[in-house]
Amino acid sequence: MGLLENIHDPWDVKALPEQSLAPLCREIREFLVQAVSREGGHLASNLGDVELTVALHRVYDTSRDRLVFDVGHQCYTHKLLTGRMAGFENFRELGGMSGFPKPRESVHDAFIAGHASNSVSVALGMARARTAMGADYNVVAIIGDGALNGGMAFEGLSDAGKSGEPLVVILNDNGMSINEGVGGLAEMLSTMRTRVEYISFKKWYRKAILPHIRYVSRLLRRAKRWLKERIIPENMFDDFGFEYIGPIDGYDLHKLESALRWAKEQRKPVLVHVNTVKGKGYGPAEKAPDAFHGVGTFDPVTGVPACTGEDFSAVFGKALTELAREDKTVTAITAAMKEGTGLIGFQKAWPKRFFDVGIAEEHAAAMAAGMAAQGLKPVFAVYSTFLQRSYDMLIHDVALMGLHVVFAVDRAGIVGRDGETHQGTFDVAYLSTVPGMKVYAPASFAELRSMLRKAVLEDTGPVAVRYPRGGEGAWKKDWDGAACTVLSGGGASGPGVTLAVYGTMTDEAMAACRTLEAEGVRVQVVKLNVVCPLDTAAVLDSARETGALLVAEEACAAGSVGERLLAAAEEAGIALRAARRIDLGSGVLEHGDPARLREKKGLDAGSIVKTVREMLHAEDQA
Amino acid sequence: MGLLENIHDPWDVKALPEQSLAPLCREIREFLVQAVSREGGHLASNLGDVELTVALHRVYDTSRDRLVFDVGHQCYTHKLLTGRMAGFENFRELGGMSGFPKPRESVHDAFIAGHASNSVSVALGMARARTAMGADYNVVAIIGDGALNGGMAFEGLSDAGKSGEPLVVILNDNGMSINEGVGGLAEMLSTMRTRVEYISFKKWYRKAILPHIRYVSRLLRRAKRWLKERIIPENMFDDFGFEYIGPIDGYDLHKLESALRWAKEQRKPVLVHVNTVKGKGYGPAEKAPDAFHGVGTFDPVTGVPACTGEDFSAVFGKALTELAREDKTVTAITAAMKEGTGLIGFQKAWPKRFFDVGIAEEHAAAMAAGMAAQGLKPVFAVYSTFLQRSYDMLIHDVALMGLHVVFAVDRAGIVGRDGETHQGTFDVAYLSTVPGMKVYAPASFAELRSMLRKAVLEDTGPVAVRYPRGGEGAWKKDWDGAACTVLSGGGASGPGVTLAVYGTMTDEAMAACRTLEAEGVRVQVVKLNVVCPLDTAAVLDSARETGALLVAEEACAAGSVGERLLAAAEEAGIALRAARRIDLGSGVLEHGDPARLREKKGLDAGSIVKTVREMLHAEDQA
């Protein structure tokens, strides 16, 4: 160390002599491996773009030029070089530095990131704003080959190319999406990647071929025209109106800087194709970049992850693999998340019934609808936050025809340290609007297995099974098959309350129940196993009995289960002494440890106890 | 006439001698112009693909082969040839034939359609199902060049090309999206469109160039390699893994049939590029295909539309054009719907601040976010049903940073005869989940103008203004600036009720109010001007006074305003004598006249009166 600790802002990077850059990059890599091993985070992608980020900061001034990261899990070097080294101390903790770009954190962060494929669109909007307002900053988008597979990236490229707006799109091509390259686009890039650099070939073609070709036969004139048409423009990016250069070696700092300076000078859309390697410079991550994509803590020397138990994703994957054995029409679909969603085993067991479509959630849902229309039983495993991309397809392609597509909605509820762009807090609301949708909320591994079996083999129409990130808690029971389970407390005889909860909130409710019962409060926990359609009758029956209703959930307020239950109580004309709901409200939920976020939002057992006491106290006063 | 009336199913088309096909196509065109002039519907696109549809039915057996229409407003000829001529009598009416493909209507309709760009994904799902289940039918997707611009189409093409699955994608290229071609993709297609047919060139190249090129100089070997690389594969479709043929003249029935037969024989993904002309064969529509895209009734001889008054879209367009004069940072964005959303005038007045991004709602929303981040005031005008596509961007790109993007949500609520794929009945629910979103619901033109002004010039953060298809009703007042307006009835002194409504429901509520007051019922209509966040206090105050609350709205039940208001009443512990809500429920809303659909759902004044009577009656009995 020595160079990095003297980098306080990007001007320090610009001031470094060229021969100091390689040592700086080494120091950055060491720092990143240490920091991520300690706190968890995204590693492989950040190790891949160290040199590219250094080059960007030498060419651009990010305090005014707008650098738009796609997905954003390659921004650690950028954070390091923009005065946020100390932020890696309480990295991704509540109140600490975010793992993604965040404008509120630094003027150098032009835009938030988290969901893939938006960067070209955002950058084009910024470039158009610049032109419309007569400003003169530069706009740069950095997008990986994985994110390029997302349809919005194409929409953005198509519009940007035609616009003529000066802007630079950097294709950070590590030859793999989050998993290995999938789809025709990956194929195309793979061909391009191995080519000689295009800009030098263009020069060679102009110098070497064009003059000679003039003298060859009439027959070859046609070939010449084709040569010209094919070579200039030569690929999809040219076709779309971009000036294309590359592929550039992502670890040749000199070439990177030259290419970026050249691109900056063009007064038009430019695409700079950069070849990088995920995990670059750290053996364990280079060998297994998937495993080091998003990681928990690990041993920085060996790369061995700190031990973690089985999680819902793994249980889902195993259960689905078993179901596929029983029913030959079961297929599994992932959008570039086969590791995260626990489908590696399924792929091995049933390679022909496993479909990784790349980052393409819209396509995944519509394709699943096509499969279901012709008799397969597709299961699309996807994070709650990314399924937002498929909202229209849920309604239009799946629900209007009542097709039996199963959505395995992983990372539902609070996801924790990945933060605001990844929280799975909207799915209860948006899934409930989808005609005919059924939504299960397992609280234990056993329940996940049973509900998945029901959803895949027995249900019809659209079905979702939503489960949280991580492992199960104290609740380990299997599902009794009912839409909701009423769990009576010890039968205290004082004033009563009904606690309606689902999924992860079961443990908090049961803990609150124990405390309250000890205080003489009569508690009925109504554990909702199906949150859409709701078995309101059971909840209302319990509330009638206890006289008060509290609904607690890890979901946004609008369209929540609490809203539906309280509305149903009002419509049924039940005279409750008190009715309340605790949820995540209508704002943005920041990053941080899930337990701490639950506390902050009043969703932990202690807060629930307090709320119930308030409800009963208000009642006494009334 | 003579040929068409003898076509009862596609086998009759197959049986026709080739020389009868052109006369048949003429008859079909005459029939379509008459039918659409009488009932309204989509005309230009249907006139464009008559020959293509005839050729498809000669080559494929749609009772088992799966023909997936993209968007679906080019399926009229298909409906005619599959035994549904009589359906054009009560076309698009409640209970009548749909204007879009609909599997429940015919075995020949493989999938629903309405929203663009899903067909390749759906077809790939079907092809994979066929292969997985060992069946042997053919799968064909038909997609227009406009829909091809949508990102999901690229996601589908990328996956399909790589899959190797035998399937045929027909690019029905009429050289324009719903409006003229936009974006780099349109540019690319425009180049391809004017080329010699690719398949014949391929043959020529193999026969003529390859043998000769062997003898030319070493220098040219490199050129040869490039020729091969460039010519096979030669375009984005080849790059993605498709066998490409075309462009084929869409009015040369013989060539069309040969190309389709050839494509059907390939055991791999094939893209057939067909050149067509929107409005083909009907002068007025060929001259102004935009005007004849989706039409009301018109004079079939002159093409002059039946007179219709000013609508909300037109009022919006004019108002925004004026606002743009006052504030130079106002920009307008449309996703291929500048006519439908009323933005033609804006484009003429402010061409540099007008952006038609093509069918690309995801990109439109994210680009707007980029614009807003850099100081512009973007207004994205979009139909409620298509904004579903941007749901993730609303949350991720716009709301997380609290960016001031205005969404002009057209066709909100019941849209009527376009039916289930186009109903704007989800936006109240999904917009309300978006952090910080404000949603206005104007009921009159004057309110639209005032609310739009507030939303664009004064508000901050994400804002939506939602308004219905068509013109205003009896309510013509301007907005008083309040979140809700309490409209007391004549002050009858009997039992009371609060009617909470918004937008289009204002007229129905006022009419119901008059009837009820005449019966001695005391009514307060609370007209909600802002439906998110809700001014629940005002509604609850009124309900406290009247003692009963009825919420009526043209929206799906989950996440509805009624749900929120009733939950708020329950939480506030207000003892109401009766509380009810009327909405569109949780099912699929079919096509039909809006007034009739409202009646069916109990949302017309008469039904509201009945519901109130029931509420009061139940009260008496209690």
Interface probe, candidates B69, B182, B433, B566, chain A, greatest A C-beta count within 10 A? B433
Domain A4-295 CATH assignment equals 3.40.50.970: yes
What's the confidence (pLDDT) of residue B298? Answer: 78
Cβ–Cβ under 8 Å, residues A538 and A486: yes
Question: Looking at beta carbons, which residues of chain A come within 8 Å of B462?
Answer: none
What percent of chain B is predicted at pLDDT more than 90? 76
Of B155, B130, B170, B193, the C-alpha closest to B269 is B170
Contact A112/B at CB under 8 A:
yes
3-state secondary structure of A554: coil
A280 inside 8 A of chain B by CB: no
Judge contact between B439 and B464, C-beta under 8 A: yes
Of A388, A405, A404, A407, nearest to A316 by C-alpha is A407
Q: How far is the CA of B61 from the CAs of B10, B82, B186, in angstroms?
A: 8, 11, 32
Mark residue B2 as left, alpha or beta (left: phi above 0; alpha: psi -120 to 50; beta: remaining): left
Known catalytic residue: B590? no
Q: Name the residue facing A239 among B155, B184, B358 (closest C-beta).
A: B184
**Residue B546 in contact with residue B500, Cβ under 8 Å?**
no
Place of tokens 């189409």: B153
Q: Please tell me the predicted confidence (pLDDT) of residue A291.
A: 81
pLDDT digits (tens, 9 = 90+) for A381-404: 999 999 999 999 999 999 999 999
The continuous run of DSSP H or E covering B501 comes out as: strand B496-501
pLDDT reported for residue A241: 85
Asked if A564's CB is within 8 angstroms of B562's CB, the reply is no
Burial bucket for residue A262 (CB in 10 Å: 0-12, 13-18, 19+): middle
Q: Looking at residues A177-205, what average pLDDT do you find?
A: 55
On whether the CB atoms of residues A332 and A353 are closer than 8 A, the answer is yes
Cβ contact B111:A355 at 8 Å: no
Cβ of residue A352 closer than 8 Å to a chain B Cβ? yes
Residue A58 corresponds to which tokens in the numbers above? Answer: 């030498």
Residue B592 near chain A (CB below 8 Å): no
Non-local CB neighbours of A265 within 8 Å, separated by 6+ positions: none
Q: CA triplet B347, B350, B351: central angle to 5 degrees?
A: 60
Flag whether residue B353 sits within 8 Å of chain A, measured between CB atoms: yes
Ordered DSSP codes for A2-64 = -SGGG--SHHHHHHS-GGGHHHHHHHHHHHHHHHHHHH-EE-HHHHHTHHHHHHHHHH--TTT
Residue A355 at interface with chain B, using a CB cutoff of 8 Å: yes
pLDDT of res. A238: 78
Which among A396, A565, A570 has CB closest to B114? Answer: A396
Residue B239 touches chain A, beta carbons under 8 Å: yes
Q: Is B218 on the interface with A (CB under 8 A)?
A: no
**Residue ranges of A 179-198 with Cβ closer than 8 A to chain B:** 182-188, 191
Identified catalytic residue from A39, A243, A257, A361: A361
Q: Report how far residue A459's alpha carbon sits from residue B252's, in angstroms, rounded to the nearest whole number.
A: 48
Instruction: Find residue A525's DSSP bridge partners.
Output: A487, A499
Model confidence at A534: pLDDT above 50? yes
pLDDT of residue A418: 83
User: What is the identity of the amino acid at B300?
Assistant: P
Q: How confident is the model at residue A180 (pLDDT cuts 50, 70, 90)?
A: very low
Q: 């046609």: which residue's tokens?
A: A222
Q: Is the pLDDT of residue A380 over 80?
A: yes
Could you say which DSSP state residue B203 is in?
Answer: H
Could you give the C-alpha distances from B543 to A164, B546, B559, in angstroms and in order? 57, 5, 21
- Whether the per-residue pLDDT at B180 is higher than 70: the answer is no
| Phi, psi values for residue B589, rounded to 5° | -95, 120
Per-residue DSSP letter, B6: G
The single residue of A278, A417, A527, A581 carrying the catalytic annotation is A278
Identify the sign of the CA torsion A243, A246, A250, A254: negative
- CA A394 to chain B, closest CA, distance in angstroms equals 10
Which tens digits make up the pLDDT trace of A124-176?
A: 999 999 999 999 999 999 999 999 999 999 999 999 998 999 999 999 998 76
Interface of B with A in 475-494 (CB under 8 A): none
Closest partner CB to A227 (pick from B68, B227, B329):
B227
Residue A23 in tokens: 């040592």
Name, of A207-221, B36-50, B368-382, the range with top average pLDDT. B368-382
User: Around A222, how many Cα atoms within 13 Å sit in the side-chain half-sphere?
Assistant: 12
H or E segment to which residue A141 belongs: strand A139-144
CA distances from A442 to A338, A406, A416, A446 (A): 21, 15, 19, 8
Please check whether residue B158 touches A, CB under 8 A: yes
Is residue B304 pLDDT above 90, yes or no? no
CA contacts within 13 A on the Cβ side of B621: 7
Provide the pLDDT for residue B196.
47
B307 burial via Cβ count (<10 Å: 0-12, 13-18, 19+): exposed
Classify B342 in phi/psi space as left (phi over 0), alpha (psi -120 to 50) or beta. Answer: left
Say whether B185 and A158 touch across the interface (CB within 8 A). Answer: yes
- Considering only the beta carbons, identify the residue of A132, A226, A367 that sits closest to B231: A226
The whole-chain average pLDDT of chain B stands at: 90
B590 touches chain A (CB under 8 A): no
Instruction: Measure the CA–CA gap between B600 and B28, rounded to whole angstroms.
Output: 35
**Cβ contact A571–B559 (<8 Å):** no
Full DSSP string of A288-299? -TTTTSEE--B-
Buried b (16+ CB within 10 A) or exposed e, B560-572: bbbbbbbbbbbbe
Interval B445-478: pLDDT, tens: 999 999 999 999 999 999 999 999 999 999 999 9
Residue A602 has phi, psi (to 5 degrees) of: 75, 25
- Give yes or no: B353 in active site: no
Summarize pLDDT for B9-56 with one digit per residue, the tens. Answer: 999 999 999 999 999 999 999 999 999 998 888 999 999 999 999 999
Which residue of the set B66, B278, B417, B598 is catalytic?
Answer: B278
The arithmetic mean of pLDDT across residues A27-53, rounded, is 93
Residue B130 C-alpha, separation from nearest chain A C-alpha, in angstroms: 7
Closest residue in A to B573 (Cα) is A578
Measured CA to CA, the distance from residue B543 to residue B576 in angstroms comes to 7
% residues pLDDT > 70 (chain A)? 88
Q: Which residue of A has its CA nearest to B531?
A: A558
Contact B440, B446 (CB under 8 A): no
Beta strands in B243-320 (DSSP E): 243-249, 269-275, 294-295
B435/chain A closest Cα distance in angstroms: 5
Number of Cα atoms under 13 Å in the Cβ half of residue B342: 23
Backbone angles phi, psi at A34, to 5 degrees: -60, -50
For chain A, give the number of residues. 622
Which CATH fold would you assign to the domain A312-466?
A: Rossmann fold (3.40.50)
Distance from CA of B618 to the nearest CA of A (A): 11
The domains of chain A are located at: 4-295, 312-466, 484-621
Measured in degrees and rounded to the nearest 5, phi and psi for residue A473 equal -105, -135
Q: CA of A260 to nearest chain B CA: how many angstroms apart?
A: 22
Percent of chain A with pLDDT over 90: 76
Nearest-CA residue of chain A relative to B550? A571
Strand intervals (E) in A203-285: 243-249, 269-275
| Shortest Cα distance, chain B CAs vs residue A372, angstroms | 8
Q: How far apart are CA B496 and CA B547, in angstroms?
A: 6
Q: Chain A residues with CB inside 8 Å of B151's CB? A: 117, 150-155, 362
**Nearest Cβ partner of B362 from A151, A331, A532?**
A151
A489-516 pLDDT, tens digit per residue, is 666 676 899 999 999 999 999 999 999 9
The second-level CATH assignment, the architecture, of B484-621 is 3-Layer(aba) Sandwich (3.40)
Contact yes or no for A112 and B400 at CB 8 A? yes
As a whole number, mean pLDDT of residues B135-149 equals: 95
What average pLDDT does range B265-281 have in this prediction? 92
A45-57 per-position pLDDT tens digit: 999 999 999 999 9
Split at pLDDT 50, 70, 90, the class of A617 is: confident
Cα–Cα dist B266/A344, whole Å: 33
Alpha-carbon span B523 to B532, nearest angstrom? 24
Which residue has 């979009």 as its token pair? B382
Residue A68 contacts B where some CB pair is shorter than 8 Å: yes
Q: What pLDDT is attached to residue B229?
A: 47
Are the Cβ atoms of B562 and A558 closer than 8 angstroms? no
Identical fold, A4-295 and A312-466: yes
CB distance B239–A184 less than 8 Å? yes
**Both structure tokens of A441:** 């909320």
Is A614 part of the contact surface with chain B (CB cutoff 8 Å)?
no
Residue A105: the pLDDT is 95
The pLDDT score that the predictor gives to residue B251 is 96
Q: Is the pLDDT of residue B212 over 60?
A: no
Q: For residue B523, which of B492, B556, B561 has the smallest C-alpha distance?
A: B492
Instruction: Enter the DSSP assignment of B577.
Output: S
DSSP 8-state secondary structure symbol assigned to residue B307 = P
Interface contact A461, partner B, CB < 8 A: no
CB A84 within 8 A of CB A107: no
Q: In what order do the strands lie in the sheet with A167-173?
A: A66-69, A139-144, A167-173, A269-275, A243-249
The pLDDT-based confidence of A425 (bands split at 50, 70, 90) is very high
Q: What is the mean pLDDT of residues B487-500?
A: 80
According to the model, what pLDDT value does residue B467 have? 98
Chain B residue with CA closest to A234: the answer is: B230
* pLDDT for residue A163: 93
Clarify whether A361 is annotated catalytic.
yes
* Nearest C-alpha in A relative to B242: A184
Structural tokens at position B264: 């059907």
Q: Global pTM?
A: 0.92
Q: Identify the pLDDT of residue B177.
A: 46
DSSP code per residue over A79-96: HHHTT-SGGGSSTTSTTS
The CA-atom distances, in angstroms, between A307 and each of A299, A303, A310, A474, B73 are 10, 12, 10, 19, 56
Of A185, A373, A389, the CB nearest to B111: A373
What's residue B525's pLDDT? 97
- Amino acid identity of residue A349, one-letter, is A
User: Per mean pLDDT, which range of A203-212, A222-231, B275-284 is the poorest?
Assistant: A222-231
Pick the closest to residue A537 from A605, A483, A481, A466 (CA basis): A483
Taking CB atoms and an 8 Å limit, are A397 and B118 in contact across chains?
yes
Residue A146, chain B, CB below 8 Å: the answer is no
Residue with token string 């003298």: A215
